Amino acid sequence: MDANKLRERFLDFFRQYGHATIGYAPLIPENDPSVLFTTAGMHPLVPFLLGEAHPAGRRLANYQKCLRTNDIAEVGDMTHLTFFEMLGNWSLGDYWKEEAIHLNYILLTEIFGHDPDRLHITCFAGDKDAPRDSEAAAIWLSLGIPPGRITFQPKTENWWGPAGMTGPCGPDSEVFFDMQPTGPSDETPVTQPQRFVEICNNVFMAYEKLSDGRFVPLAQRNVDVGIGLERNLMLLQGSDSVFETDLFLPLMTAISRLARQPQPLAMRVIADHIRAAVFVMAEGVRPGNTDQPYIARRLVRRAIRYGRMIGIEGSFLAPLAGIVVTCMGTAFPEIVPPSGAIYAALDDEEGRFQHTLVRGEREFARAAAQSHAQQELVLPGQTAFHLYDTYGFPLELTQELAREQGLAVDVASFQSAFAAHQAQSRQGAAGRFKGGLAERNLQTTRLHTATHLLQAALRRVLGPHVTQRGSSITSERLRFDFNHSERLSSQQLTAVEELVNTQIGRDLPVSWGEMRLDAARQGGALGLFEERYGETVKVYAIGDFSLEICGGPHVSHTGELGHFHILKEEGVAAGMRRIKAILAG
């Protein structure tokens, strides 16, 4: 079974059981400044897990492109990837554990054909927040999984979410596949993790974690099932690793032809990173120094370094990206149109880094030798910063080089050197090296609603030519870019501010509806990025004041916003202005 067939069989199976197939969300979340990338299929569904009605119903399934950088050091083993696909099925307050586990079992054993005797299960052991999940275990037992292959584990292992600091979460039940079925029968995924591969996670999302750390029951009990596509494909195709499946073989073959000393680990790293980079860049990101661009740069530069290590000469990323587009373009057609621009940008980044890589490596070798000579186990942060600043070495690349030499990098002093150097852009970069999930909190939701009010107010004060060109929200402030040719006068700024505050004072209801894109346009809804919308879109109305196509989330009444205050208005490019504003109190 190839990857296309696997996705198809999965969706067909769940359609048979009443699940609507929904499209996948972009890799770069829209309207959610708290995360850099979509990391799981449930991520775009958070509002619906919290109780909002999903237009497609209560039973959903899809495949979702995901990116996680926390596993980057593991890439190259049998199963780990940065970019991967997650097959997902959901019950939004519909079926519960009994049906979820039954469906999961039939899918794994009959549709995918995994040998039931090689499945091991883990369940939540229970603690002060939620009881032991004997219910899930009993269902697995009833399906024929013997007690010796069911293990209970604490929250650190068998609890999923929330994706940020707060939100939907719950106990989970993970399914593992035994890679050495003739091994000792008393080994489990807990005692012998390297023997087992996690192939699936059933999350029983019946809780919400609040900002004070408490777990409270959700109004509806949801099921969130995530299934790693590449791992299951590996097992179905009898491959030694995800890199020997049809998703990767053409890429691996091309890399081995280019390499003078083909070496499996390096080839796998290159294959993973170029694939991830293509997907990130297909959404408009270009390698750079902060946020998503920084991740793109790390992936590309790490791939270049591994390429040099195995003796690849000249530029090689663009041709490999072409293979990614061929392999993945059927399932993800959005990567095809921008492919030419991606190849050009990869060439560009490669050209830039090629010049400095060798010199930087030499510089690193000198510094490492010095540390060793002084019997130091830590490379100074200043050195790491110099490599970053002068030779374009992402911190993580220097850390990796250091690790290979038995050295650590003084990250704290790297960061202070970095912060001192770039005080003006600190907020974008220094704080976000980890690229992980931050809080998706009430304040960002408020600022998001305020952004809609701001756009509507600007159009009333300046004219209907004003439309959004960019928007970014942190928990402190909103930033809104729009087209307008002149600086705003202080009267205009005051008028905009007052207009927004008047709408807040009116405590207007915020409501939304689902409609066809053309109907939404005819009704005057504002919207961006049309090519990203599906046929039906969600439209948010704020009283009679604003109508916008948007995924949400928003507050329910404008009275929740507090006082709107514009901090700054400035030009960012010809014909484009930027406003930064906050909500006080």
Residues binding ligand SER (CB under 6 A): 40-42, 88, 160, 201, 203, 224-226
Query: What three-state secondary structure class fits 254?
Result: helix
Measured from the CB atom, the residue of 61 and 417 that comes closer to ligand SER is 61
Shortest distance (Å) from residue 336 CB to ligand SER: 28
* Between 189 and 527, CB nearer to ligand SER: 189
- Tally of CB atoms within 10 A around 311: 13
The C-alpha atoms of residue 50 and residue 206 are separated, in whole angstroms, by 9
The two tokens of residue 189 are: 């995924």
Residue number with the smallest Cβ distance to ligand SER: 226
- Closest approach of Cβ 229 to ligand SER, in Å? 12
Q: d(Cα 299, Cα 287) in Å, to the nearest integer?
A: 9
Rounded (10°) angle between helices 339-373 and 317-328: 130
Q: Which residue number, 38 or 415, has a Cβ lying nearer to ligand SER? A: 38
Question: CB of residue 340 vs ligand SER: minimum separation in angstroms?
Answer: 34
Q: Which is nearer to ligand SER, 88 or 552 (CB)?
A: 88
- C-alpha torsion sign, points 504, 508, 510, 516: negative
In the chain, helix, strand, coil percent, each to 5?
A: 45, 20, 35
CB of 107 to ligand SER, least distance (A): 14
Report the alpha-carbon angle 357-359-361, nearest 5: 65
Least distance to ligand SER from the beta carbon of 237, Å?
22
Residue 164: HSE in the Cβ half-sphere, 13 Å Cα cutoff: 20
Least distance to ligand SER from the beta carbon of 226, Å?
2
Closest to ligand SER by CB, 224 or 349: 224
Question: CA angle at residue 121 from 115 to 126, to 5 degrees?
Answer: 170
Query: Closest distance between ligand SER and the C-beta of residue 175, in Å?
Result: 11
Report the run of H or E that residue 536 belongs to, with start and end: strand 536-542
- The two three-digit tokens of residue 370, written as one number: 């010095």
Beta bridge partners of 349: none
Output the smallest distance, CB 491 to ligand SER, in A: 50
49 or 303: whose CB is closer to ligand SER?
Answer: 49
CB 60 within 8 A of CB 89: yes
C-beta of 72 vs 199, nearer to ligand SER: 199
In this complex, which beta carbon is closest to ligand SER, that of residue 140 or of residue 159?
159
